[in-house]
A and B are shown apart, each in its own frame.
Chain A
Amino acid sequence: MATTPTENIVTKIWREEPEPDNPFAARACHCAGYDVYGDLLGKITWIEYLWLLFRLEPPTPVQKTLLEGLAVGLANPGPRDPSVHAAMSAGVGGSTHASALIAALAVGAGNLGGAREVLSAMQYWARCGTDLDAWRGIIASPPVEERTDVWPAMEHTPGFDPNGASCPTPVRQLLDYLAHHDDGSILPWLAAHRETLEQCAAAPLAFSGVAAATLHVLGFSPEQGEMLFLLLRLPGAAAHALEQEKSWARFPFFGTGLTLTDDPGPVAPVSVEQ
Chain B
Amino acid sequence: MNGPELLAEYEDNWVTAMGAWFPEGRVVLRGKDVLSDLGHRPWMEYLVYAITGRESSELARLIEGIWAISCSYPDPRIWNNRIAALAGTSRSTCVHWRLLAA
Residues of A within 8 A of B (CB): 4, 6-7, 21-25, 82-83, 85-86, 89-90, 92-93, 95, 102-103, 106-114, 116, 150-152, 155, 253-255, 257-258
List chain A residues, Cβ under 8 A from B95.
Answer: 150
Asked if B83 and A86 sit within 8 Å, CB to CB, the answer is: yes
Q: How far is the CA of A95 from the CA of B83 in the complex (A)?
A: 12
- Check if B91 is an interface residue, CB within 8 A of chain A: yes
Asked if A7 and B12 sit within 8 Å, CB to CB, the answer is: yes
Asked if A90 and B93 sit within 8 Å, CB to CB, the answer is: no
Closest to B76 in A: A258
List chain B residues, Cβ under 8 A from A85.
Answer: 82, 86
Choose one: A6, A107, A110, A113; the contact of B12 (CB below 8 Å): A6
Asked if B83 and A107 sit within 8 Å, CB to CB, the answer is: yes
List chain A residues, Cβ under 8 A from B82.
Answer: 85-86, 89
- How distant is B62 from chain A, measured CB to nearest CB, in Å? 12
Q: How far is the CA of A23 from the CA of B11 in the complex (A)?
A: 11
> Given known contacts A86-B86, A258-B77, is B7 in contact with A110 (CB within 8 Å)?
no
Q: How many B residues touch A, CB cutoff 8 Å?
A: 26
Asked if A112 and B90 sit within 8 Å, CB to CB, the answer is: yes
- Check if B15 is an interface residue, CB within 8 A of chain A: no
- How distant is B65 from chain A, measured CB to nearest CB, in Å? 9
Asked if A114 and B92 sit within 8 Å, CB to CB, the answer is: yes
Asked if A110 and B90 sit within 8 Å, CB to CB, the answer is: yes
Choose one: B7, B8, B100; the contact of A106 (CB below 8 Å): B100
List chain B residues, Cβ under 8 A from A24.
Answer: 4, 7-8, 11
Top 8 A-B residue pairs of the complex, sorted by shortest distance between their CB atoms: A110-B90, A110-B92, A111-B91, A106-B96, A93-B79, A89-B79, A82-B86, A110-B91
Digit string of B61-102 for contact with A (CB within 8 Å is 1, else 0)?
A: 000000000000001110110110011011111111101100
List chain B residues, Cβ under 8 A from A23.
Answer: 4, 8
- How distant is B70 from chain A, measured CB to nearest CB, in Å? 15
Q: How far is the CA of A114 from the CA of B99 in the complex (A)?
A: 18
Q: How far is the CA of A90 from the CA of B76 in the complex (A)?
A: 14
Digit string of B18-60 for contact with A (CB within 8 Å is 1, else 0)?
A: 0000000000000000000000000000000000000000000
Asked if B90 and A108 sit within 8 Å, CB to CB, the answer is: yes
List chain A residues, Cβ under 8 A from B94.
Answer: 150
List chain B residues, Cβ under 8 A from A102.
Answer: 99-100
List chain B residues, Cβ under 8 A from A92.
Answer: 79
Q: How far is the CA of A108 from the CA of B100 in the complex (A)?
A: 13
Asked if B77 and A83 sit within 8 Å, CB to CB, the answer is: no
Closest to A91 in B: B79
Asked if A107 and B91 sit within 8 Å, CB to CB, the answer is: no
Closest to A248 in B: B79
Q: How far is the CA of A194 from the CA of B54 in the complex (A)?
A: 63
Closest to B74 in A: A260
* Most B-side CB within 10 Å, residue of A107, A152, A258: A107
List chain A residues, Cβ under 8 A from B79.
Answer: 89-90, 92-93
Closest to A108 in B: B90
List chain B residues, Cβ under 8 A from A7.
Answer: 12
Asked if A114 and B12 sit within 8 Å, CB to CB, the answer is: no
Q: How far is the CA of A25 from the CA of B96 in the complex (A)?
A: 35
Closest to A150 in B: B93
Asked if B96 and A257 sit within 8 Å, CB to CB, the answer is: no
Choose one: B3, B4, B75, B90; the contact of A113 (CB below 8 Å): B90
